[in-house]
Structure 1
Amino acid sequence: MASMTIRNLSDDIKQRLRIQAAEHGHSMEEEARIILRAALIEHTPPINLARAIHDRFAPLGGVELDIPPREPMRAPPRFG
């Protein structure tokens, strides 16, 4: 495994890293590895609901839903 040294790290950042590492029960070095790993691993973008539904039913030839006829708006109820 490779090693690396980070220079010119502000005291504030170092202190915040120390606190976060302690909260998670890790050494500062392990916490820095976890942060770097999480930041650099490729994340697949979340799929939106419409795309998920389309992809689910596309192999079946799709699904066509009937659009219900529009009706005039009814009058709001009167209380009083």
Structure 2
Amino acid sequence: MPVITVRNLPDEVHRAIRVRAATHGRSTEAEIRFILEAAVTPEGRVKLGTLLAGIGRELGGIDLKISRDKTPAEPLRFE
């Protein structure tokens, strides 16, 4: 995993990040990672799981009471 060193960070900025991290219950390093990730992640990006859940809802949801076919699968034959 890459490592980044930030030089010449003003004391006020470092202090503000430390306070923000404490407010969110994270370390300063974790808070900086969170800020950087939020800065480069496109807004409105739909994640795959959210997209699939939406499609499932549009199709009427999932019926978990469907009985599963327990017949063993036939092995492939390469003859």
TM-score by length of 2: 0.54
Q: Structure 2 regions of 5+ residues with no counterpart?
A: 46-79
Q: 2:60 matched to 1:29?
A: no
Q: Measure the CA separation in 2 of the matches of 1:15 and 1:43.
A: 27
| Identity rate, percent | 42
The amino acid across from 2:27 in the alignment is S
Q: Structure 1 regions of 5+ residues with no counterpart?
A: 46-80
RMSD: 1.4
Q: Measure the CA separation in 2 of the matches of 1:6 and 1:40.
A: 17
Structure whose CA Rg is larger: 1
How far apart are 1:30 and its partner, in Å? 0.2
Map of 1:58 onto structure 2: none
How far apart are 1:44 and its partner, in Å? 3.5
Q: Measure the CA separation in 2 of the matches of 1:34 and 1:3.
A: 15
Q: How many residues align?
A: 45
Q: Measure the CA separation in 1 of the matches of 2:10 and 2:20.
A: 16
Map of 1:4 onto structure 2: 4
TM-score by length of 1: 0.53
Q: Measure the CA separation in 2 of the matches of 1:5 and 1:22.
A: 21
Q: Measure the CA separation in 2 of the matches of 1:41 and 1:24.
A: 20
> Could you list the runs of 4 or more consecutive aligned residues of structure 1 that deviate by over 3 angstroms after TM superposition?
none
Output one character per residue of 1:6-34: Cα deviation in whole Å (capped at 9) or x when no partner. 00000000000000000111000000000
